[in-house]
């Protein structure tokens, strides 16, 4: 449904987006993950027609954004990060005003209003002014204005920024529900939120997409070595010295003895599993095995590894 090809955007000498490519399919929730200034907002603004690219193309349902901008914008709902709302308007009046801009009138307006009120949970606040609503409700109101015309595509820039934990859960569930019937793109620098909401993650860094896939695919691709910790009692110098021979696929990274306990840290490649050999060595050496635990690279580790240099401006 959306195809981005060799997209480039410069602000003078600043290269905000550097020849990125990706696709998003109908019914998919894509998370755009990157540090502040990585190029997320710039990319989304180009897709929505808000900005023109320096080079490259964006296609929505095979329509080029450069030639069919107005037609494409009719298919897109956009919730900007700052969520611009008229604070002095009543919620109902704002929704009516949004519908009028979209030329939704009469019965079509009543149907659209009923739909967004139900989807966004606004029935109890229609009489209030926007200024009287909490930030969580303002996000819901902004989302209602973005989907008033029932777009096929929903794009949200940092949709949970500044919300409390309860509000974040509410907005997350709302996004998931909308993702069942729409193509959804959300951007965020909050990795935990992206993991909990999306089907697929694209990591952007310094204007380039440096990883793209499900969280499981990303972890499988960048996992590297597994860390393993043994905590044992009853070790001797001889039994510790013979440990590498018992499990040659594991490399000892450190050994710490505290009183009668010894903590042994090892690592091994994802193609090897020395745990059975280590257990047998512990039994043979008459160690008391208190703990054997592994830790594999998590998405947080992968994100830090890929973006360690820091982002550019966007």
User: Any idea what the CATH number is for the domain that residue 77 is in?
Assistant: 3.40.50.300
Question: Whole-angstrom Cα distance, residue 284 to residue 105?
Answer: 81
Are residues 93 and 141 located together in one domain of the fold?
Answer: yes
Task: Write the pLDDT tens digit of every residue in 228-257.
Answer: 999 999 999 999 999 999 999 999 999 999
How would you list the strands of the sheet with 226-233, edge to edge?
251-258, 261-268, 226-233, 288-295
Q: What is the mean pLDDT of residues 110-135?
A: 94
Are residues 238 and 109 located together in one domain of the fold?
Answer: no
Q: What is the mean pLDDT of residues 30-51?
A: 92
Are residues 37 and 55 located together in one domain of the fold?
Answer: yes
The answer, yes or no, to whether residue 300 has pLDDT greater than 90, is no
pLDDT band for position 312 (cuts 50, 70, 90)? very low
Fill in the DSSP letter of residue 74.
T
> CA of 230: how far to CAs of 150, 218, 266, 282, 299, in Å?
56, 28, 8, 10, 24
42 lies in some domain: yes
Least Cα distance to 171 among 131, 143, 201 occurs for: 143
The C-alpha angle 289, 295, 298, rounded to 5 degrees, equals 170
Are residues 125 and 217 located together in one domain of the fold?
Answer: yes
Question: Whole-angstrom Cα distance, residue 197 to residue 175?
Answer: 7
Q: Which residue has the higher pLDDT, 182 or 314?
A: 182
302 lies in some domain: no
Average pLDDT, the chain: 90
Range of the domain at 200: 2-221
Task: Write the pLDDT tens digit of every residue in 189-224.
Answer: 888 888 888 999 999 999 999 999 988 788 777 666
Q: Specify the pLDDT at position 313.
A: 39
Q: Specify the pLDDT at position 307.
A: 80
């Amino acid at each position: 449904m959306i195809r981005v090809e060799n997209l480039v955007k410069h602000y003078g000498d600043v290269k905000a987006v550097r020849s990125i490519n990706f696709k998003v399919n109908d019914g998919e929730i894509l998370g755009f993950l990157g540090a502040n200034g990585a190029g997320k907002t710039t990319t989304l603004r180009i897709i929505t027609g808000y900005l023109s690219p320096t080079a490259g193309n964006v296609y929505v349902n095979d329509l080029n954004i450069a030639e069919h901008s107005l037609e494409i914008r009719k298919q897109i709902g956009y919730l900007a990060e700052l969520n611009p709302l008229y604070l002095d308007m009543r919620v109902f009046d704002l929704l009516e005003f949004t519908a009028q801009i979209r030329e939704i009138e009469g019965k079509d307006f009543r149907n659209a209003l009923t739909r967004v009120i139900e989807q966004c949970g606004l029935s109890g606040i229609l009489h209030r002014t926007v200024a009287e609503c909490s930030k969580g409700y303002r996000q819901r109101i902004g989302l209602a204005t973005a989907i008033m015309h029932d777009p096929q595509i929903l794009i949200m820039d940092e949709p949970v920024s500044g919300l409390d934990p309860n509000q974040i859960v509410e907005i997350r569930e709302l996004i998931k529900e909308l993702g069942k019937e729409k193509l959804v793109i959300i951007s965020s620098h909050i990795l935990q939120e992206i993991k909990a909401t999306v089907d697929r993650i694209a990591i952007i860094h310094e204007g380039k997409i440096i990883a793209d896939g499900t969280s499981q695919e990303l972890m499988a691709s960048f996992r590297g070595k597994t860390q393993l910790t043994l905590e044992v009692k009853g070790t001797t110098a001889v039994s510790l010295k013979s440990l590498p021979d018992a499990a040659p696929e594991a490399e000892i990274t450190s050994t710490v003895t505290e009183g009668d306990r010894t903590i042994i840290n090892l690592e091994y490649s994802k193609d090897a599993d020395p745990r059975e050999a280590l257990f047998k060595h512990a039994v043979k050496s008459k160690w008391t095995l208190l703990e054997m635990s592994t830790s594999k690279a998590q998405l947080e580790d992968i994100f830090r590894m890929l973006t360690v240099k820091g982002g550019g401006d966007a």
